[in-house]
């Protein structure tokens, strides 16, 4: 009976496991193997020699990779906290207007159902120095036009534009999740806080955030992982060739990996890509573990 | 002590009104910020070339001034060059490709997900928990690690060939690797687990097979979750960018995202036709928005649940 | 602080668009420094009344005064209220200390002073050893005491307790009940204590208020309400075992139950309900009384003996039930099957008209 049960279960799992074996587990293992080859040619499967550190050394010495890591860290480090704080504030504000909540929520959700490339292009045009709406609005406040994305745009300007797009894009999901998270908090705590004469800010800081902390932790981990993989928004704003106002000025780790995408016929290229993607994997893993450990002390359940 | 309670009701009311005004102002400004890109995209797509390059930009336009030439131009056939005879932006071809890929992937994903979720939720077998943990672990791995090896795999399977790639090859390459989702398995397994065990035992006593039980009992009960999975999954193909670009050897095999970027910039002059670009962006965004408004409740419920449970 | 409610009304609109009159034109004065028991069956509007006093709900109609001050426009945080919720609502992520300290922090009480008062309050409720625990590490009774400490620490003008003992076991209930009474005596804070347990209300309160369907039925000292109920509902709600209610009539100023004489009253002839407390029966040792029955069951607990009479086959109508009970002194040796003749103590017998109003 036990045996039969086992067999039956594997039968149900077969379609999944076969596909994953080929397209998930094999490439995962292969990435590690390939990253240890020197002069590897994927199509013929030949390599010059095995050297575990060679490709990592090449990548880590590459100034473009350094730039990609810095850009990626800035994107994750700014967009995640800002968007989490903003979406929390929005979710809490929505809570106090039950009647219009659904309406606003629907609007706020729209960025979730867009095509990142299409909306990235719309942003690119919004940030256009002469024809864009952003500089028009800034003009109302007496700020002179900024060159956001043009050929001579400053690093800060490009980065700000990219961050705004990233935050705009990520708000929808977080607002929705935090709103439902708030609905699950027992209303009695808020009644009790009123009786205890807590101000709105105190309620937010001392009641809402702690009670929501498991969810905030979860969302911040997934957001950091997502932000570390930033790519589509860069392509939307700058195109997949230039990757920045100046060539590669906004390159990210993922974009760095992808620049080897047409190099499958070139010797060793794919090993560089593998090494870079493994580094990304480790960064992701380390940051999420760190986040979990650090927050364990502050999360209350 | 008691004097801290003596309340100045008027001051309190004024403060309350002020804070309400602030609250609405905040929410409205956020809403406008969210809507602005959509507005700008649509408005720009309705401007003429002259209007679009006007400084300062036009922010409001009467409907009578709207022009649809940007849209019609997208479908004008290219006169010469590599793509002669095709529309400037072959939207319908891309749409068709995207829809086909989306449907095939979704069917495949749904099947593997339902079967696996059932096994994990209901069947006892050796190594179940370890296997499930390993699967969950793969969610942490960035997809970029897989992509180049997968490309080589697809090449070896004969689905990629610069000279004679067929439509079927492209479809296989774009769909087969994406027919699994650990996240949906996790999500559906939760729903399956909530179905009481008693039903399963009752069915067993009646001599119902597992598969029949899955079809006749579990799937109907879990249908809302499955529909959510179908909807969320079918939206995925719209955003797929890098893989379809990598795998399709001919322009006419690409998906909407790929066609969008890169077009509309005249390679010789470097000038971009923003009006056409925005019109194409509107066309690409529209199907998703229509889908969203048709299934608004389900999509929002599904997304929020997926966020909270995960 | 005296609390006055005038014409206080709260109407909820339920999901199916029906009006629920949770509190219905209530006029009530709660005297300063007293402990009032608010008593009534589930759903009668007790919690709603408390929330109206606290300001967590806004009344549909009417006014609430604290002393001379009308409170309708005053938000809960400015009313100076301590409230113990039906299920405590302790903040799960804060320790006992933080829970008790929280209101003081919000009222900007100076730090040292706040610490001192928190400790004193913890001591008052006997929790000074557990200040660093989280609520989920406490028993139900301990949690309940934290909730009381949190409500009391800011020396509120009014203390509201919403069925604070409902989650405790019988022994802890008694113990905590006494504690609440003691604390209230010591602090002299005007207190409203909600419960649906009549015995609890009777034992703890200076005065009780009986409520039904959002309407106040009666208010007074517990014994007085027990002895002089104004209607059948109050008579039935108070007392354990419950009052026995017989169908009867008045004929020529004589009170009759199924033609058996039980007393005299100067009233016109009519049908009446006759309520007799179980302790209102006196055994007529000379068997002269015409009011007699065969005993079906005898229960002796401690000093009291309870005689239970099954009226299933008899023509006598007893409201709601088919049995009635009489509590007699354990000195009488009576066994099942004996026929007992009774007299009824006039002060333990209440006559109600057919609408249930006292006569
Ligand atoms: N928010 C609400 N919406 C609609 N009806 C409500 C609401 N709150 C209470 N009610 C109704 O008002 C009536 C009184 O409710 P309340 O909670 O005051 O009863 P209670 O006396 O405290 O009962 P319990 O002893 O069960 O706590 C009930 O019929 C209840 O269904
Ligand atoms: Mg209640």
CATH number assigned to the domain comprising residue A271: 1.10.3720.10
Residues of chain A in contact with residue C85, where contact means CB-CB under 8 angstroms, are 188, 191-192
CB of B184 within 8 A of CB of B233?
Answer: yes
pLDDT of residue C173: 83
What is the rounded average pLDDT of the residues C52-69?
92
Q: Is residue A120 part of a domain?
A: yes
Checking if the pLDDT of A1 tops 80, the result is no
Confidence of residue B310 (pLDDT cuts 50, 70, 90): very low
For domain C244-352, is the CATH number 2.40.50.140? yes
> Which of B283, B285, B266 lies closest to B49, judged by CA?
B266
* Residue C23 to residues B111, C71, C85, Cα–Cα distance (Å): 56, 17, 19
| More confident of the two residues B163 and B150 | B150
Query: Mind listing the pLDDT tens digit for each residue in A234-243?
Result: 988 988 788 8
B155 touches A at CB < 8 Å: yes
> Which of C79, C115, C110 lies closest to C98, judged by CA?
C115
Cβ-defined contact of A300 to C92 (cutoff 8 Å):
yes
Residues contacting B104, CB < 8 A, separation 6+: B171, B175
Q: Which fold has domain C3-237?
A: Rossmann fold (3.40.50)
Selected residues 62-81 of chain C with any CB under 8 Å from a CB in chain B: 73-75, 78-80
Atom 25 in ligand 1: which residue has the minimum CA distance? Answer: C42
Checking if the pLDDT of B6 tops 80, the result is no
CB of C39 within 8 A of CB of C209?
Answer: yes
Stated pTM of the model: 0.84
Confidence of residue B2 (pLDDT cuts 50, 70, 90): very low
Proportion of chain B above pLDDT 70, given as a percent:
91
Q: Which fold has domain B91-305?
A: MetI-like fold (1.10.3720)
Structure tokens at A208: 């809402």
Nearest CB to A197: which of C56, C77, C87?
Answer: C77
Query: Mind listing the pLDDT tens digit for each residue in A246-289?
Result: 889 999 999 999 888 777 778 888 899 999 999 999 999 898 88
Domain ranges of chain C: 3-237, 244-352
Proportion of chain B above pLDDT 90, given as a percent:
31
Residues of chain B in contact with residue A284, where contact means CB-CB under 8 angstroms, are 140, 142
Structure tokens at B283: 């066309």
CA distance A89 to B27: 10
Query: Mind listing the pLDDT tens digit for each residue in B20-78?
Result: 899 999 999 999 999 999 999 999 999 988 888 887 888 888 888 888 888 988 888 87
Cβ-defined contact of A202 to C82 (cutoff 8 Å):
no
For chain B, the average pLDDT equals 85
Selected residues 209-238 of chain A with any CB under 8 Å from a CB in chain C: 210-211, 213
Q: Which of A105-119, A221-235, B105-119, C315-329 has the lowest mean pLDDT?
A: C315-329
Residues of chain C in contact with residue B2, where contact means CB-CB under 8 angstroms, are 80, 155, 157
Domain ranges of chain B: 2-75, 91-305
**Mind telling me how many Å the CA of B21 is from chain C's nearest CA?**
19
Q: Say yes or no: ipTM exceeds 0.85.
A: yes
What is the rounded average pLDDT of the residues C192-197?
91
Checking if the pLDDT of B4 tops 50, the result is no
Atom 19 in ligand 1: which residue has the minimum CA distance? Answer: C43
Give the end-to-end CA distance of chain C in Å, rounded to a whole number: 36
Q: Which residues of B191-217 are buried (b: 16+ CB within 10 A; e: fewer)?
A: bbeeeeeeebeebeeeebebeebbeeb
Q: C-alpha A81: how far from its chain's center?
A: 12
Selected residues 3-62 of chain B with any CB under 8 Å from a CB in chain C: 4-5, 7, 9, 12-13
Checking if the pLDDT of A217 tops 80, the result is yes
- The count of other CB atoms within 10 Å of the CB of residue C302 is 6
Q: If you measure from the C-alpha of residue C28 to the centroid of ligand 1, how many angstroms do you get, rounded to a whole number?
A: 19
- How many beta-carbon contacts under 8 Å exist across A and B? 277
CA distance B137 to B222: 25
The strand pair at C158-162 and C81-84 is best described as parallel
Task: State how many domains chain A has.
Answer: 1
Cβ-defined contact of C54 to A195 (cutoff 8 Å):
yes
CA distance A222 to C173: 48
Cβ-defined contact of A131 to B126 (cutoff 8 Å):
no
Structure tokens at B289: 């928005």
Structure tokens at B209: 């097979």
A150 touches C at CB < 8 Å: no
| More confident of the two residues B291 and B82 | B291
Which of C9, C20, C54 to probe ligand 1 with, by most ligand atoms within 8 A of CB? C20
CA angle C190, C193, C199 (to 5 degrees): 130
What's the domain range around A138? 55-297
Checking if the pLDDT of C168 tops 80, the result is no
Residues of chain A in contact with residue B131, where contact means CB-CB under 8 angstroms, are 13
Confidence of residue C172 (pLDDT cuts 50, 70, 90): confident
Structure tokens at C246: 């017989």
A207 touches C at CB < 8 Å: yes
C45 lines ligand 1 (CB under 6 A): yes
Selected residues 210-269 of chain C with any CB under 8 Å from a CB in chain B: none
What is the rounded average pLDDT of the residues C245-269?
87
Tell me if residue C61 falls in helix, strand or coil: strand
pLDDT of residue A23: 94
């Amino acid at each position: 009976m036990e045996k039969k049960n086992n067999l039956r279960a594997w039968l149900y799992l077969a379609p999944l496991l076969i596909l994953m074996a080929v397209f998930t587990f094999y490439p995962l293992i292969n990435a590690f193997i390939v990253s240890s080859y020197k002069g590897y040619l994927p199509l013929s499967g030949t390599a010059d020699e095995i050297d575990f550190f060679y490709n990592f050394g090449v990548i880590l010495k590459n100034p473009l990779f350094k730039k990609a890591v810095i850009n990626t860290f800035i994107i994750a480090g700014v967009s995640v906290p800002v968007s989490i704080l903003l979406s929390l504030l929005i979710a809490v504000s929505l809570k106090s207007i039950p009647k219009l909540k659904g309406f606003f929520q629907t609007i706020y959700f729209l960025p979730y159902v867009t095509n990142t490339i299409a909306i990235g292009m719309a942003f690119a045009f919004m940030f256009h120095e002469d024809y864009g709406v952003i500089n028009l609005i800034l003009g109302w406040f007496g700020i002179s036009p900024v060159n956001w994305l043009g050929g001579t745009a400053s690093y800060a300007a490009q980065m700000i534009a990219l961050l705004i797009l990233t935050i705009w894009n990520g708000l929808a999901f977080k607002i929705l999740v935090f709103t439902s998270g708030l609905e699950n908090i027992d209303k009695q705590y808020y009644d009790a806080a009123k009786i205890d004469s807590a101000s709105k800010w105190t309620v937010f800081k001392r009641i809402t955030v702690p009670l929501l902390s498991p969810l905030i932790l979860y969302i911040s981990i997934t957001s950091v992982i997502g932000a570390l993989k930033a790519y589509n928004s860069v392509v939307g704003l700058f195109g997949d060739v230039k990757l920045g106002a100046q060539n590669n000025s906004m390159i990210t780790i993922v974009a760095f990996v992808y620049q080897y995408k047409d190099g499958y016929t070139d010797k060793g290229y794919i090993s560089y890509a593998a090494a870079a993607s493994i580094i990304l994997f480790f960064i992701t893993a380390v940051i999420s573990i760190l986040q979990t450990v650090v927050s364990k002390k502050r999360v209350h359940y | 002590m008691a004097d801290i309670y003596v309340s100045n009701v008027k001051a309190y009311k004024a403060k309350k009104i002020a804070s309400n005004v602030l609250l609405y102002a905040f929410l409205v400004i956020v809403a406008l910020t969210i809507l602005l890109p959509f507005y700008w995209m649509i408005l720009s797509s309705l401007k003429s070339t002259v209007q679009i390059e006007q400084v300062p930009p036009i922010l409001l336009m009467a409907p009578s001034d709207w022009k649809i030439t940007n849209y019609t131009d997208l479908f004008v056939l290219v006169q010469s060059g590599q793509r002669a005879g095709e529309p400037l932006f072959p939207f319908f071809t891309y749409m068709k490709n995207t829809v086909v890929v989306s449907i095939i992937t979704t069917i495949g994903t749904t099947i593997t997900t339902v079967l696996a979720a059932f096994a994990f939720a209901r069947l006892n077998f050796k190594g179940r928990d370890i296997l499930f943990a390993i699967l969950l672990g793969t969610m942490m791995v960035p997809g970029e690690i897989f992509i180049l090896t997968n490309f080589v795999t697809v090449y070896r399977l004969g689905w990629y060939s610069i000279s004679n790639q067929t439509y079927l090859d492209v479809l296989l390459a774009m769909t087969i690797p994406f027919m699994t989702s650990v996240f949906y398995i996790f999500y559906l397994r939760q729903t399956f687990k909530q179905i009481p065990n008693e039903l399963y035992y009752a069915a067993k006593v009646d001599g119902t097979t597992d598969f029949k039980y899955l079809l006749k009992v579990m799937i109907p009960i879990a249908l809302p979750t499955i529909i959510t999975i179908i909807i969320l999954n079918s939206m995925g193909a719209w955003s797929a960018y890098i893989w379809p670009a990598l795998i399709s050897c001919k322009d006419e095999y690409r998906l909407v995202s790929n066609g969008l970027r890169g077009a509309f910039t005249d390679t010789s002059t470097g000038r971009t036709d923003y009006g056409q670009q925005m019109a194409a962006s509107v066309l690409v965004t529209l199907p998703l928005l229509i889908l969203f408004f048709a299934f608004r409740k389900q999509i929002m419920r599904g997304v929020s649940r997926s966020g909270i449970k995960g | 602080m005296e609390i006055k409610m005038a014409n206080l009304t709260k109407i909820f609109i339920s999901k199916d668009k029906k009006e629920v009159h949770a509190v219905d034109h209530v006029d009530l004065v709660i005297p300063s420094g007293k402990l009032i028991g608010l008593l009534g069956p589930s759903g009668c509007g007790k919690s709603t009344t408390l929330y109206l006093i606290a300001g967590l709900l806004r009344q549909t109609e009417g006014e609430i005064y604290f002393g001379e001050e009308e409170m309708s426009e005053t938000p809960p945080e400015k009313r100076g209220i301590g409230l113990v919720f039906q299920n405590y609502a302790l903040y799960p992520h804060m320790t006992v200390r933080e829970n008790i300290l929280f209101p003081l922090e919000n009222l900007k009480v100076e730090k040292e002073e706040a610490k001192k008062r928190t400790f004193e309050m913890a001591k008052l409720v006997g929790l000074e050893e557990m200040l660093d625990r989280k609520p989920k590490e406490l028993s139900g009774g301990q949690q309940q005491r934290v909730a009381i400490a949190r409500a009391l620490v800011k020396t509120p003008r009014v203390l509201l307790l919403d069925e604070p003992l409902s989650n405790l076991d019988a022994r802890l209930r008694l113990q905590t009940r006494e504690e609440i009474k003691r604390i209230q005596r010591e602090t002299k804070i005007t207190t409203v204590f909600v419960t649906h347990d009549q015995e609890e209300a009777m034992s703890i309160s200076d005065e009780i208020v009986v409520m039904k369907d959002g309407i106040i039925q009666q208010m007074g000292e517990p014994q007085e309400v027990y002895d002089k109920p104004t209607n059948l509902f109050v008579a039935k709600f108070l007392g354990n075992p419950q009052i026995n209610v017989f169908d009867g009539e008045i004929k020529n100023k004589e009170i009759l139950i199924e033609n058996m004489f039980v007393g005299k009253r100067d009233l016109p002839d009519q049908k009446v309900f006759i309520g007799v407390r179980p302790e209102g029966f006196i055994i007529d040792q000379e068997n002269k009384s015409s009011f007699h029955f065969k005993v079906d069951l005898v229960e002796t607990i401690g000093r009291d003996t309870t005689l239970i009479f099954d009226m299933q086959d008899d023509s006598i109508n007893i409201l709601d039930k088919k049995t009635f009970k009489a509590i007699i002194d354990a000195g009488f040796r009576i066994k099942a099957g004996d026929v007992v003749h009774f007299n009824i103590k006039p002060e333990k017998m209440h006559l109600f008209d057919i609408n249930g109003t006292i006569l």
